[in-house]
Amino acid sequence: MTISEIEAKSILRKHRRVDSWFVSCYGMNLYRGCSHSCAYCDGRSETYNTRGEFGQDIEVKVNAVEVLRSELDPKRRRVPLKHSYIMLGGGVGDSYQPIEKKYRLTRRVLELLLECGFPVHILTKSTLVTRDIDIIKEINKRSRAIVSMSFSTADDAIAAVFEPGVPSPTERLQTLAYFKREGIACSMFLLPVIPFITDTSESIENTVEKASEVGVDFVIFGGMTLKESRQKDHFMNALKNYQPELISKYEGIYRGNRWGQATAGYYDTLNRIFCRAARKYRVPMRMPRTLFADILSENDLVAVLLEHIDYLLMMEGKRASFGYVANSISRLEQPLSSMMGDLRVLRGVGATAERIIQEILKTGTSSYYEKLSVPYARP
């Protein structure tokens, strides 16, 4: 493995709009490349410009803490930072991959975020996150923290094939249980399930059941994408060694979509399976409102709740345009409450959306959203 120390010009990455999965406006990658080397990782795709061989070559942003400190400093900012969770993880490298033991960048960034009072949402596959329980608890006390772990399955034997560099799903579930006992909100990212291997009803139900036993606060679900070239070639090689007879089935659902997406029909089937499992085990399919309502600005709160409504309807097989409305709201400069009587001028806002937005602005929630969430709410 090659480790290169690099000087980053910037660390904080602003999302185009508040991200309704993580409820976050900002993220960061402290490492580029990931020695966990999951077979399906889309960080391997050329789209992300990671240098060298993915899984083998890691770039370490050694000046990350200093750069971030100046980016967070309100005196140096022309536009103040928005309130939301700051996301640590995802992207092109796990923040708790083994090299973190040596560089401790993630730990030092957490210390800085604690000092500056920002809420934090961590996503990792590594049990090393338990090392930082002391800071995570302090952040949670001061401004709130969430620990999420990602899975493609709860089956240790299958995970060992496709996620060779990370602790087993059993260990990850134990880690989530540990954080729950310590009073930290947790989630499972069941993302991606692997086509024809971990996407069966039995496998998804089993994984959701385990998440529910651990007491996670929510589960985010998604199918796999396979972008052409480096990512797809690498995954197909792993598949060839594991179950070559599946290759033609993959060719049937991955047909060269630019974003690496499988066919819509395939994802619809998956969503139905997951939705059934989430109802059965009463597991919320999006972050519960109580974990973010007091963090976001009013526009972002409305945008996230509308996106959640859109998703919950989609999971019930209904099409809606609340996601489109959420997008219009995310671009607004002025607070929604200053245009209570004029909401219909916003693109996509009709009578129903107007009513929902007004209710959220008055009460902090929407009865429609609460009703849709009930089947998945914990008893």
- Interface residues with ligand SF4 (CB under 6 A) are 34, 36-38, 41, 43, 93-94, 125
Cβ-based nearer residue to ligand SF4, 139 or 194: 194
Cβ-based nearer residue to ligand SF4, 107 or 234: 234
* Minimum CB distance to ligand SF4, residue 11 (Å): 17
What is the chain's Cα-based Rg?
21
Cβ-based nearer residue to ligand SF4, 94 or 310: 94
User: What is the spatial distance between Cα 372 and Cα 379, in angstroms, rounded to a whole number?
Assistant: 15
* Minimum CB distance to ligand SF4, residue 37 (Å): 5
User: What is the spatial distance between Cα 188 and Cα 167, in angstroms, rounded to a whole number?
Assistant: 15
Cβ-based nearer residue to ligand SF4, 165 or 348: 165
* Minimum CB distance to ligand SF4, residue 93 (Å): 5
- Residue 239, classed as helix, strand or coil, is helix
Omega cis (within 30) before 169:
no
What's the maximum distance between 2 C-alpha atoms anywhere in the chain?
A: 62
* Minimum CB distance to ligand SF4, residue 9 (Å): 22
Interacting residues of 164 by C-beta distance below 8 A, sequence separation 6+: 37, 38, 39
* Minimum CB distance to ligand SF4, residue 377 (Å): 29
* Minimum CB distance to ligand SF4, residue 378 (Å): 28
Q: Which residues sit opposite 145 in a β-bridge?
A: 120
Cβ-based nearer residue to ligand SF4, 107 or 308: 107
Cβ-based nearer residue to ligand SF4, 37 or 187: 37
User: What is the spatial distance between Cα 357 and Cα 353, in angstroms, rounded to a whole number?
Assistant: 6
* Minimum CB distance to ligand SF4, residue 166 (Å): 6
Three-class secondary structure assignment of 141-179: HHCCEEEEEEECCCCHHHHHHHCCCCCCHHHHHHHHHHH
- Residue 2, classed as helix, strand or coil, is strand
Cβ-based nearer residue to ligand SF4, 11 or 343: 11
User: What is the spatial distance between Cα 107 and Cα 110, in angstroms, rounded to a whole number?
Assistant: 5
Give the helix ranges, DSSP H, for the chain: 64-72, 100-103, 105-116, 133-142, 156-162, 169-181, 201-214, 230-242, 247-253, 264-280, 298-315, 322-330, 351-363, 367-373
Cβ 282 vs Cβ 376: under 8 Å: yes
Cβ-based nearer residue to ligand SF4, 88 or 361: 88
* Minimum CB distance to ligand SF4, residue 21 (Å): 15
